[in-house]
Structure 1
Amino acid sequence: MRSKLYQIIFLFLFLCCFSVVINFQRDNHALPTSVPVPDKIDLTYALAEPIQTLDPARASNLAEAKVISNIFEGLVRYKPNSTEIEPCLATTWEVDQGGKVWTFHLRQDVKFHDQTPFNAAAVKFSVERQLPPQKKDSMLYGSFTFGMVEAVEVIDDYTVRFVLRSPYAPFIRNLAMPWAAPIISPNSVAKYGDEVGQHPVGTGPFQLAKWDKEGVVLVAFKDYWGNQASFNSLAFSHLSPEQRRTKLQDGTITLCDMDGLKTKDTPDIKLLKQPTASLGYLGLYNNKSPFNNSRVRRAVCIAVNREEISRKLFGSPSLAANSILPPGFLGYNQNLKPYTGGAAKAKAMLKECGYPEGIDITLITYRSSRPYNPLGGEELAELIKEQLAPAGIRVKVKTYPWHEFKTALRNQEGDAFLFGWVGDNLDPDNFLYTLLAADEVTNLTFYKNSEVNRLISAAQKEVDEKIRLRLYYHAQQIMLQDTPMVFLNYAQTNIACRQELTGVEFNLYGIPLLTKAHFKS
């Protein structure tokens, strides 16, 4: 009898506790409400690439970043058309132990689109899901963004601390990236699991209303903590060049990517051109003849006409590269100058190096176009061949499909190669250290200079940006003398837009920032 009574009491207590837990979960883990799809879309954007996922941890291409930037936010963000950092979901931060410990104070009263609160626990969750042991192979940028993180500590609801394995100054710009860094609702991951990329839930100014074969439809998030956009709905779709041209002209779409599309300013259409964080270059193998001689490398640099290349690629000589860092980057200096002088000067220098009859080289390249080379690898190689010929540099061009080309690079085929770099985190370290550090696998020229190595390694650890700037400027001066590669051009994003839309800003990825955009009355 007593046993039966205990069972009844236990069952009663269990049901009471279960009810408390359920009610707690309802209060603290609200499920997403149904978002109605507007009958009329205010602003439409046609993309040149398809969207595979809207999970920031799994996204990798620029088209996905353009959508994600409207749904999600990170702790910090880039100022428009700049690599400078400004607050976003974090309002302030401190850096201690020489760049090893980063403490962020979070914005309060911020909600995710599913009405759950944004807090330090959500930050910790977003980061740790991209690190071992939780990291999935499909999370492409997690290791780059957070691989230096040793621990993420929740100090209180609105304070989170990152402890790094060693001082790492670029970390702050990692946190502004459109991939990996944006904070996702933990509740959405719990609800949708690996399908969360089709059900994105962030804190941004727009939330998902629909995603089907026609494209993605976003609507303004009414509880957004920041300034509301001037329009209520925004749609993205992937269209062919011909579809983009037709729909832009008839007003069906408002903006579109210009990749593969040729158009010009008209009374209805304007072109928005924005420099981006990209570099195209002619790589020279520094570890084998003839380019193990810096003066031979210098002769190639002298013979190349960068302004002509820039004009052919982008219609403007202003994108000719003068150093390894794109404009707008910390450490960029427009007064830095690579060697110039033309064919006769280059020919004379080769003669001084023991090549009175000139040199014969094989230049390997890719077939397709790239963000830093819309013309295509083979066309650019032929242009460079034509430029080098009067200097006595006879070029044989060998072309590969993209993936085979990368294998040829790893095997050091040929004597020189065409390549480029697209910035990941808009930090100078991502160009200088990535492309020039002696032990980096991305140093495809096999350039080695101990002083440059010392400078860029010191800058990687230095959190004082004034000191970093001096270190990078000094490293570039040495590197330009050594000429490990010939810097050809920077790149730009071209967006076609209806004339009635104004106020579109960009970041240096070439992503349009649309929250301040509005239509002329």
Structure 2
Amino acid sequence: MKNKLFQLAFLFLFLSFFSVVVNYDKGASPTFFKKEIPQQIDITYALAEPLKSLDPAEANNMSEAKVLSNIFEGLVRYQSGTSEIEPCLATHWELSKDGCSWVFHLRKNVTFHDGTPFNAQAVKISIERQLPPQKKDTMSYGSFTFGMLKKIEVIDNYTINFLLTTPYSPFLRNLAMPWAAPIISPSSLKNLGNDKMLLAGTGPFYLADWRNGAPILLANEKYWDKKPFIKSLSFLPQSPQQRLASLNKGTVEMADVSGLPGDTIKAQNVITTSQSSASLSYLGMFNNRPPFNNDKVRRALCMAIDTRELTKNIFGDQSLAANSILPPEILGYNKNLRPYFGGPEKAKALLSQYGYTEGLDITLITYNTPRPYNPLGGTELATTIKKQLAKAGIRVNVKVYPWHEFKSALRKQEGDAFLFGWVSDNLDPDNFLYTLLASDEITKTNLTHYKNSEVDRLISAAQREQDEKIRKRLYYHAQQIMLQDTPMVFLNYGQDKIALTKNIQNLKLNPFGIPLFAKAYIQ
């Protein structure tokens, strides 16, 4: 009997110990993910794209960025309304004279959502997981953001040194990107597995649930900056028709409405806010073969296209007509730059002067889907351009392709000209001029095959230059030469447009068109 009692007592003690161990493990896990979700969410935001991943290393679309920007933070961030950089998880930094060493001093007393302390080691782990040999094929932006890194050195808990292979001034803006750059808790990475719910950042909100592709975020009450007024957010990917219906029924408080007709929003308590986006729609010409290896023929095409009319048809807003390769709010943009103009008669006269007395026949290839810089789609845009060019004696045969086939046709240089566009990755001018015009990019993103040694020199000098004022002058000079050469016709900048209920106050958009909820409130 005593032996049995002893066994029972031992079993009781063992179970008690086991319970303590289990509870300890639970306490060490990110328990905030299990916090009760309120029945009434403060703001439900209808997004334009599906959410495939909320891991910053794997995310790659703008809807994912709109969720990530509330959960995670980087060392630096864009100032509200501009592409200028301000401190975030780093308080300040120094750049060496040779431009190859960036030393960042980190913010102290910051914790990730799972309670893990933020420090230099966390920064190193977040970045190195996206580089060889750890990099996975699903990590889209790691190479772009950090490919110029030679080494990351942890100097102490709150100081970290990025050593670059060569001077590269756009690196600072890379660190503010909503993809790849945000810092993740090392503890949550260890527990990641297939459960993206475990990822923890330092942002003003944390991921509390993710049901049927719709994440729910709750306010981070231990946020290092001012605590958010809004307590809960929900993000709901929907089709254009669903977004309009949700706004009109009042089942969402916000929605992406870029490219949607404004007169279809019937709800009286809904307003829209918009801004030009960091994207560009352009008509490219193959500069490496006739007829567009002649810059005078390229100029004639530019003269014949009325970009203000095009932009009015696309957005109902002529102000989005592009005057150069850089969108507003990007360093180096200058509203006084002007492409060739003059209308169809002057274009016809120029063509005749250079041997095209009977006009010109060209094939224009385009895509069949809406794009961020062209919500109406390539077919309608090409049809309008065809009508405009006909007045100048330029006869256009339009060939339309599904998106993936279109990109293949571009690589093969089918046709004589094409419609395309670019959406900025990092809000740096280099991302437009180098990407679209540099000779080094001809086999990659310089689809016009444009070559100009002076433009190459200016772009390269701007990449190495530390002084933003000097960089601005270099880009301005490069744009002047490029406008004279006319490798492409700049059609329009894109537009970010969001509908929201009138009671949402102090909601700002960054230059990516990402709403910043940290300081917003509901009246």
Q: Is the 8 A contact 1:241 1:260 kept in 2?
A: no
Q: Is the 8 A contact 1:174 1:181 kept in 2?
A: yes
1:214 Cα shift? 6.3
1:116 Cα shift? 0.5
Is the deviation greater in 299-308 or in 266-275?
266-275
- Residue 490 of structure 1 is aligned with which of 474, 493, 504? 493
- Matching residue's letter, 2:91: T
Query: What SS does the corresponding residue of 1:374 show, helix, strand or coil?
Result: coil
Say if 1:427 and 1:28 are closer, same or farther in 2 by CA, change over 3 A.
farther
Say if 1:303 and 1:114 are closer, same or farther in 2 by CA, change over 3 A.
same
- Matching residue's letter, 1:506: L
1:510 Cα shift? 1.1
Q: Is the 8 A contact 2:459 2:475 kept in 1?
A: yes
Is the deviation greater in 241-250 or in 425-434?
241-250
- Matching residue's letter, 2:484: Q
Are positions 1:95 and 2:98 aligned together?
Answer: no
1:512 Cα shift? 1.0
Task: Output the CA distance in 2 between the equivalents of 1:166 and 1:93.
Answer: 18
1:210-289 to structure 2, matched below 5 A, reads 210-213=209-212, 215-259=214-258, 261-264=260-263, 267-289=268-290
1:254-403 to structure 2, matched below 5 A, reads 254-259=253-258, 261-264=260-263, 267-403=268-404
Query: What SS does the corresponding residue of 1:298 show, helix, strand or coil?
Result: helix
Task: Output the CA distance in 1 between the equivalents of 2:99 and 2:196.
Answer: 33
1:180-219 to structure 2, matched below 5 A, reads 180-193=180-193, 195-213=194-212, 215-219=214-218
Query: What SS does the corresponding residue of 2:440 show, helix, strand or coil?
Result: coil
1:163-182 to structure 2, matched below 5 A, reads 163-182=163-182
Task: Output the CA distance in 2 between the equivalents of 1:196 and 1:185.
Answer: 14
1:200 Cα shift? 2.5
Task: Output the CA distance in 2 between the equivalents of 1:29 and 1:483.
Answer: 61
Q: Is the 8 A contact 1:46 1:237 kept in 2?
A: yes
TM score, norm. by length of structure 1: 0.93
Query: What SS does the corresponding residue of 1:361 show, helix, strand or coil?
Result: strand
Task: Output the CA distance in 1 between the equivalents of 2:497 and 2:26.
Answer: 46
Q: Is the 8 A contact 2:367 2:401 kept in 1?
A: yes
Task: Output the CA distance in 2 between the equivalents of 1:308 and 1:461.
Answer: 39
Q: Where does residue 450 of structure 1 map in the other structure? A: 453
Task: Output the CA distance in 2 between the equivalents of 1:126 and 1:28.
Answer: 24
Q: Is the 8 A contact 2:297 2:351 kept in 1?
A: yes
- Matching residue's letter, 1:232: K
Q: Where does residue 436 of structure 2 map in the other structure? A: 435
Deviations 1:235-270 (A, max 9, x none): 111123333223222322110111564334753111
Number of matched pairs:
496
Query: What SS does the corresponding residue of 1:391 show, helix, strand or coil?
Result: coil
Q: Is the 8 A contact 2:230 2:517 kept in 1?
A: no
Task: Output the CA distance in 1 between the equivalents of 2:400 and 2:26.
Answer: 61
Q: Where does residue 405 of structure 1 map in the other structure? A: 406
1:296 Cα shift? 0.5
- Matching residue's letter, 1:199: L
1:197 Cα shift? 3.0
Q: Name stretches of at least 5 consecutive residues in structure 1 with no aligned partner.
A: 1-21
Query: What SS does the corresponding residue of 2:192 show, helix, strand or coil?
Result: helix
Deviations 1:196-221 (A, max 9, x none): 53432100000111111161111001
Task: Output the CA distance in 2 between the equivalents of 1:196 and 1:448.
Answer: 48
Say if 1:196 and 1:176 are closer, same or farther in 2 by CA, change over 3 A.
farther
Task: Output the CA distance in 1 between the equivalents of 2:166 and 2:27.
Answer: 36
Q: Where does residue 7 of structure 1 map in the other structure? A: none
Task: Output the CA distance in 2 between the equivalents of 1:89 and 1:27.
Answer: 28
1:49 Cα shift? 1.0
Task: Output the CA distance in 2 between the equivalents of 1:214 and 1:298.
Answer: 48
Deviations 1:388-427 (A, max 9, x none): 0011111000010000000100000000000000000000
Are positions 1:513 and 2:516 aligned together?
Answer: yes
Q: Where does residue 63 of structure 2 map in the other structure? A: 63
Task: Output the CA distance in 1 between the equivalents of 2:89 and 2:411.
Answer: 41
1:444 Cα shift? 0.4
Q: Where does residue 7 of structure 2 map in the other structure? A: none
Task: Output the CA distance in 2 between the equivalents of 1:215 and 1:31.
Answer: 20
1:39 Cα shift? 2.0
Query: What SS does the corresponding residue of 2:439 show, helix, strand or coil?
Result: coil
1:36 Cα shift? 1.9
Q: Is the 8 A contact 2:197 2:207 kept in 1?
A: no
Task: Output the CA distance in 2 between the equivalents of 1:28 and 1:104.
Answer: 33
Q: Where does residue 108 of structure 2 map in the other structure? A: 108
Task: Output the CA distance in 1 between the equivalents of 2:106 and 2:36.
Answer: 31
Query: What SS does the corresponding residue of 2:262 show, helix, strand or coil?
Result: coil
Task: Output the CA distance in 1 between the equivalents of 2:466 and 2:383.
Answer: 43
Query: What SS does the corresponding residue of 2:69 show, helix, strand or coil?
Result: helix
Q: Is the 8 A contact 2:303 2:343 kept in 1?
A: yes
Q: Where does residue 76 of structure 1 map in the other structure? A: 76
- Residue 500 of structure 1 is aligned with which of 477, 499, 503? 503
Deviations 1:272-306 (A, max 9, x none): 11211000000001000010000100000000000
Say if 1:71 and 1:422 are closer, same or farther in 2 by CA, change over 3 A.
same
Say if 1:401 and 1:268 are closer, same or farther in 2 by CA, change over 3 A.
same
Q: Is the 8 A contact 2:151 2:163 kept in 1?
A: yes
Identity, % of aligned positions: 61
- Matching residue's letter, 1:263: G
- Matching residue's letter, 1:475: A
Q: Where does residue 481 of structure 2 map in the other structure? A: 478
Task: Output the CA distance in 1 between the equivalents of 2:353 and 2:296.
Answer: 9
TM score, norm. by length of structure 2: 0.92
Task: Output the CA distance in 1 between the equivalents of 2:285 and 2:381.
Answer: 16
Task: Output the CA distance in 2 between the equivalents of 1:229 and 1:52.
Answer: 26
Query: What SS does the corresponding residue of 1:104 show, helix, strand or coil?
Result: strand
Q: Is the 8 A contact 2:365 2:400 kept in 1?
A: yes
Say if 1:165 and 1:29 are closer, same or farther in 2 by CA, change over 3 A.
farther
Deviations 1:35-80 (A, max 9, x none): 2211211111011111111000000011100000000000000011
Which aligned segments of 4 or more residues in structure 1 are displaced greater than 6 angstroms? 25-29
Query: What SS does the corresponding residue of 1:439 show, helix, strand or coil?
Result: helix
Say if 1:346 and 1:464 are closer, same or farther in 2 by CA, change over 3 A.
same
Task: Output the CA distance in 1 between the equivalents of 2:174 and 2:258.
Answer: 27
Q: Is the 8 A contact 2:278 2:493 kept in 1?
A: yes
Q: Is the 8 A contact 2:259 2:376 kept in 1?
A: no
- Matching residue's letter, 1:250: K
Q: Is the 8 A contact 1:364 1:413 kept in 2?
A: yes
Task: Output the CA distance in 1 between the equivalents of 2:500 and 2:26.
Answer: 44
1:28 Cα shift? 12
